[in-house]
Amino acid sequence: MKISQNGRNYRPFINDSELEVKLLKPQIISKLVELGSQDIGFCGLDWIIEQDAKVEELLDLELDKVRIVSAVPVGYDFSKLIKRKIRVASEYERIVKKYLEQKGINYEYIKTYGATECYPPEDADMIVDNVSTGNTLKDNNLKIVETVMSSSTRFIANIDAMKDNWKQGKIKNITMLIKSVLEARKRVLIEMNISEAKLKELLETLPCMKSPTVSKLYGGRGYAVKIAVKRDEVKELIPELLQEGATDILEYKLEKVVK
């Protein structure tokens, strides 16, 4: 599925006549999917929880990973701070209220619309915001108190859409394709040649998804072996293959892996 821009239009082109695409703010996507104006969507787990959206989660893409954290100015003592009523600024009203009430903290909530980290110390004692590296908090003289939750991008569907046979089939196919691409990003294909004398010993040590693909070379001059392995294993694996007697080692990028 190829998506291309349509000028400044929020409806990009897609090369699938059965689909229409719309770009929306992540804060509202889960609610619109719940209401059924959109059948499927991509948004962070944080906004699904914040909107209390009743949707079916199809896939955790493990992309755009962030933590929702509470933070205060560097010079503040959190244990002393919460002995009084504090001002807490955040975009996440539902998440913040649940978090603070579970801790028994007396607070006044301030709704923000971006740039939450600029509120302390004059306008808020604490913020609850999403971070990936935490550098923005440090740049604004803030320190993390604790992680409230973790979030990543989820592929979600409307519950009623999943009860429609045609839509359910289409959505399941899209889920399968997305999953296959994500899986392919984690793996590479390694191809190598090995002599017959060393084949058995090599096969006993090879990592792979199920079992290696082995085929005899033309003229009976050994075997060609193919394996799909995790990308982060390659830097240790290739030197080991050389030690086992493998030659002509090739590494290929995978586009999709369908299990």
**pLDDT tens, residue by residue, 14-38:** 999 999 999 999 999 999 999 999 9
Cα–Cα separations (whole angstroms), residue 149 to 98, 128, 130: 12, 11, 9
The answer as to whether 259 is a domain residue is no
Q: Is the pLDDT of residue 5 over 80?
A: yes
The answer as to whether 114 is a domain residue is yes
Same domain, 107 and 146: yes
* Structural domains of the chain, count: 3
The answer as to whether 163 is a domain residue is yes
Give CA–CA dist 156/109, Å, rounded: 29
Q: How confident is the model at residue 116 (pLDDT cuts 50, 70, 90)?
A: very high
The answer as to whether 258 is a domain residue is no
Q: How confident is the model at residue 256 (pLDDT cuts 50, 70, 90)?
A: very high
Same domain, 49 and 166: yes
Beta bridge partners of 188: 229, 253
- Under a CB-based contact definition with an 8 Å cutoff, are residues 48 and 55 in contact? yes
Same domain, 199 and 160: no
- Under a CB-based contact definition with an 8 Å cutoff, are residues 222 and 178 in contact? no
Same domain, 202 and 140: no
**pLDDT tens, residue by residue, 207-240:** 877 889 999 998 888 999 999 999 999 999 999 9
Domain of 87, CATH number, reads 3.40.190.10
Alpha helices in 51-190 (DSSP H): 78-81, 93-102, 135-139, 165-185
pTM of the model: 0.85
Give CA–CA dist 239/229, Å, rounded: 14
**Tell me, what's the pLDDT at 91?**
96
- Under a CB-based contact definition with an 8 Å cutoff, are residues 68 and 95 in contact? yes
Domain of 200, CATH number, reads 3.30.70.120
Q: How confident is the model at residue 62 (pLDDT cuts 50, 70, 90)?
A: very high
Q: How confident is the model at residue 128 (pLDDT cuts 50, 70, 90)?
A: very high
Q: Which domain holds residue 40?
A: 3-62+154-183
Read off φ and ψ for residue 183, nearest 5 degrees.
-65, -40
